[in-house]
Structure formats: C-alpha cells, structure tokens
A and B are shown apart, each in its own frame.
Chain A
Amino acid sequence: MTQLDRLSVYHWLNAWCIKPVGGALVRQEPEYILLALMGSPLKKIMLCSSEKEIFSVEEQVMVQHSVIINNMIEDGSYNHEESKIPLDCVDSKTLKKVIDYCTHHTHHHNDNQEDLEAWDAQFLNVDSNGLYDLLMAANYLEIRNLLDLIYGTIKNMIKGKKIDEIRRIFNIKDHGFTPEEEEQNRKEYPHFY
C-alpha cells in the first residue's frame, strides 16, 4: 500500500467506522480496523534492548522460539497497545541477531536440512565476544534450538584438543596455577597436554 492509499483508507474508515456499544453507536479507532483487516499473523511486538533501542518483530516468530516471551504473552502480562518487552541484559547488536535467527527459522522451516545447517553455520560466523553474547541472550530468552546450536559449536572447540590449544582458542592467558600445581596437572592428565 502506498502512503497515499493508506491515507485514503484511513479517511474512509474514519468517516465510516462506527460500532454499537451498549445501544449507542461509538466510533471505533481506524488503526484497529486496519490491523484486523491485515489479519493476526502479522501482529507485532516490541522488544527493547539494554541500549533502549526498540525492535519490532512478528509476535508469532518470537513466541515460537522463546519460552520466556511465549510465557509473557500467554499469561497476559504484555499489553499489545502500549508496552514493550524490556530486555536489559541483551544489547542491540545481539538482539538484532537473535531476531534474525528466529525470523529465518520461522519463515524457512520448510527448507532442506542442509540449507538450514549452512545458514546456521554462516550465522555463527562471529567473533568470540559476539558468540558468548548470543549464548547469554539465548539462555536468557530460553531459545532451545539456538542454545543447542551454540553449545554444539563451543563443544567442538574443546573436544579432541590439547590443553594449550584450548587455552589459545579461549584466550585463557593466565591459568592461575603455581608451577607445582601445573606439574601435577600434567601428571594427572598426560593425554591432555
């Protein structure tokens, strides 16, 4: 719909939208009629990042993936007209990525397994800071499939590797052991060094 069309419809609805309430005829706000005409699948919710940036996303998308958001909407604590969901532990960059993930998986859930896996691999191609931020966000919002995906990736960084390599990958510069303790560690887990 172009801007002009929307305005025309708005004016038309404004002139005609009346509904009976308790015997009297009352004006119904045109925005709600437009929303009703568009149908509920496009119902959107507002998410607010820790940096106070607001993201609008389809309700269906977030409800499908995040247990926390699903619960909030189901128990009615979220009021569509007014409120936004504050997510103080998630910054804007991470929140945008999380929304990206959920939206893609909702719209593409019919795709091939291989295509989805390829997209996931590309999605997780971020630096380690970004990865851990995503992990914390997915944990907070309880997004099971994203969590499993990230856990799988991190697990592969550890499995089968020697300790020096793992310390390098995770940037663990100061392990905090005394030389004697480190010596004992080596004896106890020789295969790991």
Chain B
Amino acid sequence: MGKRRKQRQRKRKAAVDRDVISRLPDEILCNILSFLPTRTSVATSVLSRRWRYLWKKVQALDLNDDFFYTPELSRNEAQERFLIFLKKFEPLLLPLPMRKFCLSCPVGQFGYTDLIGWIEHVIGRVSELYFSVRTDGQTYELYFRNLHSTSLVSLVLDGNIMIVVDFVPTPSESIFPSLKNLELHVIFNYVDLDLLLSGCPALETLRLTLIDFRLEAFHMPPSLKSLTFEEQYSDSEDVTLELLEVNTPSLEYLRLTLRGCYAEILVCDYPNIKRASLDISRKSGNIAWVPKLLRALCKTKFFWLQVSTIECLICAPVLDLPNFCNLIQLQLDFHIFQSSLLIDLLHSCPKLQALKIYISQFVDSISSGSYLKSRNGWTQPLSIPHCIVSHLNTVEHRGYLNSPEEHEFTAYILQRGLVLKTMTIHTKYSLESKSEIYEALSEIQRGSSMCRLEVN
C-alpha cells in the first residue's frame, strides 16, 4: 500500500471521527442554544471545554418552571425556588442586548411584583418577549404605561392578565412602534385592548384567543397581514357586540372563530388574501353580513368554511356569491349535506382544483338513516360549473352517508369531471357497505380516464 493511499485513508477516518459541530463559530452555536430552554443551554457547559462559556453569550433567556414541581415541594415552595433560580440570571440581563426573553411560570401574590419588575427592565431591550402566567384564579394587572419599547418586535402574553392602558396612544407616542407580532391568549379588560392595538402601528400578525369577550367596537390595526381571532364564552348568555372593524388592505391570512353576535362588520377589499378560514356562529346579526365578508375575501386561494358559517349562508336571505377567481382549494364542513349550496359555490370558483367535503352529523344513525333515504334534495344543475370540466382534480368526501343526494352529487362529478384524478370517500360504515358503495359508484361512466376512486 502506497504512502499516499495510507495518508488519504487516515485523513478520511479523521474527518469521520472529528467533532464537527464544535468547529462552528461561536455566533452559530449561540444561536442554536438560543432555541433551547435556558436550563438546558446552561447545562451544555459540561459538553466539552469548547462549550463551557458559550451559554453566557446566548442572547436569549427562556425560563420556565415545570421542573420545579416535584412531589416533595409544595406549590409555594416551588414558586419560591423558581424566583431564586430567576435571580441567578439577573447579571446576564445587564450587559447584553437580549434578543429573546421567555418567562413561563405560575404567579402568586408575592411573586408578581418581582416578575413585573423583570418585564419592565427587559422590555426596552429585547426584540421578542414571551410571558405566560398561570395564576391561582386571580387576575393580575399589567400596566402598559411603563412598558413601551421601540425594540420589541414580538410579544406573546398568555394567562389571567388584565391589560391596563390608562392613556391614549398617539402616532408620535405609540406603545410599540416596531411590534410586528402580537399574541394574546385569555386576557381580560377589553376596553384597553382596543387602545393597546391602536398603539401598535406596524403590527403585521395578530393572534387573539379571548374568553368572554365584550367590547362595543373592536378595531383591527390597518397594517395587519395575518389575523387569527378566536373568542369563546364561558356562559351561554347571548352577547351582542356592536362593531368589528377589519379595515386591513394588506391582509393575507384570516382565521375567525366567532361565537358572539356582531351587529356590524366593516371590511375592505383584501387584494392579497391567500388563506381564509371562517367559523362564525349562526346568530341573526352575523347572518346579515357573512355574504359581505365572503365578497371581500374573493381573491383567496384557500378557503375553509366551517359548519356554523355554512349555516349562516343557508339562512342568508340573499346569497350573492362573488367570483372566487383565484380559489384553488375549498373545504366545506356541512352539518347536513346540501347539494344546492355546494353547486352554487362550485359555480363561483372557476379555477378550483381541490374540493373537500366534511359531513359532521351528530344524529342518531337509525332515525336519520330513514329520514335521509326519503329526502333527496338533488336537482340537476342547469349549467355545469366551469371548474368541474377544467380544473377540479381532487375530491375528498368525509362522513359519507350514502344518501341519494350524496350519491347523485358524486355521480355528477364523476361523469362530468374531465380532469378528475382522485375521488376519495370516507365513511364510517362497515366493510360490506363500503364495497357496496364502491360497486355502485364504479358503475358510473367516468368523464376522466385517469380518475381513481377510493372508498375507505
């Protein structure tokens, strides 16, 4: 064996054995550590000499307290220990510009002021702040008077926090001028929530999960690109709110889960909208404006209408569907299969490629079975929807009950779908029924030679 070959072999072996990760520069290793909870990143100091002091340079603090809850300690003791643990990191906060600060812990009366002190100290210097509190049922106040920050880009607040904004933000004196991402989960005091939003002029992403939301008029910041708004009510009292304003022309993503009744919604055109998902409960106030919202969303590419929204559409006095010129995927959750609404929707999306139908019927199978078999709401459409012959290539139907109406609709698509590639049917029935359904549908002459039928 020549000398060169031996050398090459040795080099190759060394390359495989080498500790490659430690040769990455400090900056990159610290970035990796910044994605870990601080407790873990501190512990990496024992990996090797190279890693010993890296954690001190990490520009992120991610402190959560899960590991303090051992069976030996009481809740109070665990909380105390956590606060002591926190104090250990105070020196870190001083010199470094901190990119990210995450704090997740339970809070009792005595610990709260300490934590707020931390937040106030840190907020002017971090770009991402995540604060999650679990309280013993009590609600704690977070005063935004002392919390403005020009560096903050992302803020997540989670827990029984009461937002207090006891001043009116002006364009020159906004609370968070650089904030792009805001997430609020289960926050109280909604009057000031509107004020808080008005103090974030650059906001692009907003996620709200609110319980017992009661606000006269709620205005979304006009700079928004993505809005997720979910509200729930702990009691069944009928809540009516006056106004929801979504005047956000840059909107690209919208997800609404509304349980309350909104007397009025203000929308504008959303030329950049890409995805929309609507779950709007069927209250009389909402039914009046759901079609208007659909028209504003006419440029979307992906659309998901959940059960309650479909009910709103069925009850709408005049259903003036817009032309969904860009729509390529549509998902519809029906309570009861309605072929007429389905055909109307198909008429309005000429470029639709994928259609998903979910039937969520929570009715007794015996009684509904006979009802469904007697009722057939299918009427042959006067003209064939354009998407069926030109673009529709995937159809998925879940919760198939093999009613005459469903069968007629499926047959219609199979016969006229000239570019159909897959038709998938999911049913809860037994294996024999599945093969029956498969046989019945296989007999239909298909418009597309490459169409594959599947019954699961």
Contact = CB atoms under 8 A, between A and B. Distances in A.
B18 interface: yes
Interface stretch (A1-9, A95-103, A168-176): A168-176
A192 B31 contact: no
A166 B43 CA distance: 12
Given A110-B328, A159-B40, A171-B19, A177 B49 contact: yes
A173 B16 CA distance: 12
A172 B48 contact: yes
A85 B44 CA distance: 38
A190 B24 CA distance: 27
A171 B35 CA distance: 21
Interface stretch (A28-36, A46-54, A69-77, A150-158): A150-158
Interface string B45-67: 01111100000000000000001
Contacts of A135: 24, 28
Nearest to A186: B46
Contacts of A191: 43, 67
Given A155-B35, A159-B40, A132 B328 contact: no
26 contacts: A110-B301, A128-B20, A129-B15, A132-B21, A132-B23, A139-B27, A139-B28, A151-B32, A154-B32, A155-B32, A155-B36, A159-B40, A160-B40, A163-B46, A166-B44, A170-B19, A170-B21, A171-B20, A172-B21, A172-B47, A172-B48, A175-B46, A175-B49, A176-B49, A189-B43, A189-B46
A40 interface: no
B36 to A, nearest CB: 6
Contacts of B15: 129
Interface residues of B, number: 27
Contacts, number: 78
Contacts of A185: 46
Contact of A167 (B28, B47, B49): B47
Contacts of B67: 191
Contacts of B364: none
A136 interface: yes
B17 interface: yes
A192 B46 contact: yes
B48 A129 contact: no
A49 to B, nearest CB: 20
A189 B51 CA distance: 15
Contacts of A177: 46, 48-49
A135 B18 CA distance: 17
B379 interface: no
A168 B149 CA distance: 43
Contacts of A154: 21, 32
Contacts of A152: 35
Contacts of B17: 171, 173
A110 B40 CA distance: 37
Contact of B48 (A128, A155, A158, A174): A174
Contacts of B35: 151-152, 155
Contacts of B23: 132
A172 B49 contact: no
Contact of B40 (A158, A171, A173): A158
Contacts of A129: 15, 20
Interface string B367-378: 000000000000
B22 interface: yes
B43 A192 contact: yes
Interface in B346-368: none
Contact of A163 (B20, B36, B47): B47
A185 B19 CA distance: 21
B68 to A, nearest CB: 12
Interface string A46-90: 000000000000000000000000000000000000000000000
Given A167-B47, A189-B46, A192-B43, A132 B24 contact: yes
Nearest to A176: B49
A152 B301 CA distance: 29
Nearest to B32: A154
